[in-house]
């Protein structure tokens, strides 16, 4: 197809703050996971699809429910208000757990 550009999984992004490989971040309205370390304002390839273990807020998580990104805390949460929908939790987790598996999904909201 003449107008196809790329699959859209690994995208060129700009690091909004210092990133370590595996950190989640928002580049504008798009959530991605850093594929390398990056300084603030530096280019970084962001992975926008797949299942990732991400740091989570101190809330109990129910498997197969919506996952939101709390950009201020830089954590995933089940709280929708004020946060960006980024995917679906692939496992449940107790409130004291530090991380949880999240399947990223594209969301225009």
Residue 93 confidence (pLDDT): 97
pLDDT score for 108? 53
For position 107, what pLDDT does the model report? 60
pLDDT digits (tens, 9 = 90+) for 1-38: 788 888 888 999 999 999 999 999 999 999 999 999 99
The structural domains of the chain, with segments of one domain joined by +, span 10-48, 51-104
Predicted TM-score (pTM) of this structure? 0.92
pLDDT at 79: 97
How confident is the model at residue 14, as a pLDDT? 97
**Edge-to-edge strand order for the sheet containing 99-104?**
50-55, 99-104, 84-89, 66-70, 75-77
* pLDDT at residue 17 in the model: 97
Could you read off the pLDDT of 54-76 as tens digits, one per residue? 999 999 999 999 999 999 999 99
């Amino acid at each position: 197809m003449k107008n196809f550009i790329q699959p859209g999984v690994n995208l060129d992004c700009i690091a909004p703050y210092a990133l370590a490989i595996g950190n989640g971040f928002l580049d504008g309205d798009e959530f991605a996971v850093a594929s390398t370390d990056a300084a603030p304002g530096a280019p970084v390839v962001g992975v926008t699809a797949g299942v990732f273990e991400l740091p989570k807020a101190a809330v109990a998580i129910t498997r197969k429910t919506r996952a939101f990104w709390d950009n201020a805390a830089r954590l995933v949460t089940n709280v929708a208000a004020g946060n960006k929908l980024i995917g679906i939790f692939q496992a449940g987790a107790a409130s004291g757990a530090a991380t949880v598996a999240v399947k990223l999904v594209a969301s225009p909201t």
